[in-house]
Amino acid sequence: MNILAIETSCDETAAAIIQDGRTILGESLASQIPLHRRYGGVVPELASRAHLEALPTVLSETFAGANLDWSDIDTVAATAGPGLFGSLLVGFQAAQTLAWTANKPFIPVNHLAGHLYANWLAYPDATFDFPLLGLIISGGHTMLIEMDGHHDFRLLGQTLDDAAGEAFDKVASLLGLPYPGGPEISKLGASGDIDRYKLPRALTKTEDLPNHRLDFSFSGLKTATRRVIAEEGESLNQADLAASFEEAVVDVVVTKLRLAARSTKPKGIITGGGVMANERLRTRLTELATELGLPLYIPPLRFCTDNAAVMGAAASFVPEKLILPAKVDPNLALV
Ligand code: KG4
Ligand code: ZN
């Protein structure tokens, strides 16, 4: 079955044609990062307009790359949320209209499900026995999920305030680094000392665990980092600060994932979202999986950040009874 998927939830205009949920036949992606960079973050109005402008080219490149036409498409899918309302509308309406005109079924996709289904694309031969433990870590979300079947999600814990990617972006901006901040912090911290600055690991102390065992909180870390920058002044070592900050985020994620794995006894761990592009996180999670004796799936970088292929993979595995209502929802929940 071939699915044409469109993703426009934030600052990437993307389309892809996916076969049986595991193979990419064609894809195209137009990034708006250069457009938003000078504002230090995504400007919603500019984003929707840029999606509108880029989508026709992105779609024709996708079909041309796959060497397919409409007769080869069985179903159309699009991201319904979460995301920016105006941006979501552009891709969703276009996909719905195309499906209607071409007389094909239409499947709305939850963006967060797409981040997890990146693994089905990245590891096309893996069987993925349930239950799986899922980590979604992106600019807007930090969540631990138990997955008992296709699109059968149970929320184990999530951030109470900032998402991990948001913390990276905010700390990068404190250091005067460009948007998006995650990769910039990583680059800067690569040569830094992870132990130089003492930063908090929120909700990991014994007394926090009864109420927030699998929850995260990153806003205190951002504030503590800001304090270090102010206190150190001229003597601040930016590389050491970036490394210490990155290690604090990674430490918390490793701790919480270990706790979640111990209590849910999964058959494997799947991960997704933009922050999974982080090298230090990838290394530490690989070590954790060895310690736990569990298979760990980390998508390659291009499937971690936003794209349409992973949304097409998610659409391919949705059981009929779990197909979402055909409407855009900027706050669409996964569970
Ligand atoms: O999944 P994504 O592309 O968009 C959302 O759905 O949010 O994630 C974007 C986030 C941004 O906050 C960005 O700074 C972060 O992922 N990110 C990283 C890295 N690459 C991207 N964070 C840490 N290290 C990275 N290498
Ligand atoms: Zn995303």
| Tens digit of pLDDT at every position of the chain (335 positions) | 999 999 999 999 999 999 999 999 999 999 999 999 989 889 999 999 999 999 999 999 999 999 999 999 999 999 999 999 999 999 999 999 999 999 999 999 999 999 999 999 999 999 999 999 999 999 999 999 999 999 999 999 999 999 999 999 999 999 999 989 999 999 999 999 999 999 999 999 999 999 999 999 999 999 999 999 999 999 999 999 999 999 999 999 999 999 999 999 999 999 999 999 999 999 999 999 999 999 999 999 999 999 999 999 999 999 999 999 999 999 999 99
**Cα–Cα dist 68/66, whole Å:** 5
What pLDDT, on a 0 to 100 scale, did the predictor assign at position 40? 86
Number of C-beta neighbours around residue 261 at 10 A = 20
Upper half-sphere CA count for residue 20 (Cβ side, 13 Å):
4
- What spacing in Å lies between the alpha carbon of 139 and ligand 2's midpoint? 7
Interval between CA 207 and ligand 2 midpoint (Å): 32
DSSP letters, 279-301, are HHHHHHHHHHHHHHT--EE---H
Structure token pair of residue 249: 């985020």
* Calpha distance 139→306 (Å, rounded): 10
| CA 177 – ligand 1 centroid, Å | 14
Which residue among 275, 283, 284 has the greatest number of ligand 1 atoms within 8 angstroms of its CB, and so is best to mutate? 275
Residue 168 confidence (pLDDT):
98
The reported pTM is 0.96
Tell me the C-alpha distance between 90 and 79, whole Å. Answer: 10
Contacts of 171 (CB under 8 A, 6+ apart): 181, 185, 222, 225, 242, 245
Half-sphere exposure of 332 (CA within 13 A, CB side): 24
Q: Which residues line ligand 1 (CB under 6 A)?
A: 10, 138-140, 165, 168-169, 180-183, 186, 273-275, 277-278, 305-306
Virtual torsion, Cα 267, 147, 157, 286, nearest 10 deg: 40
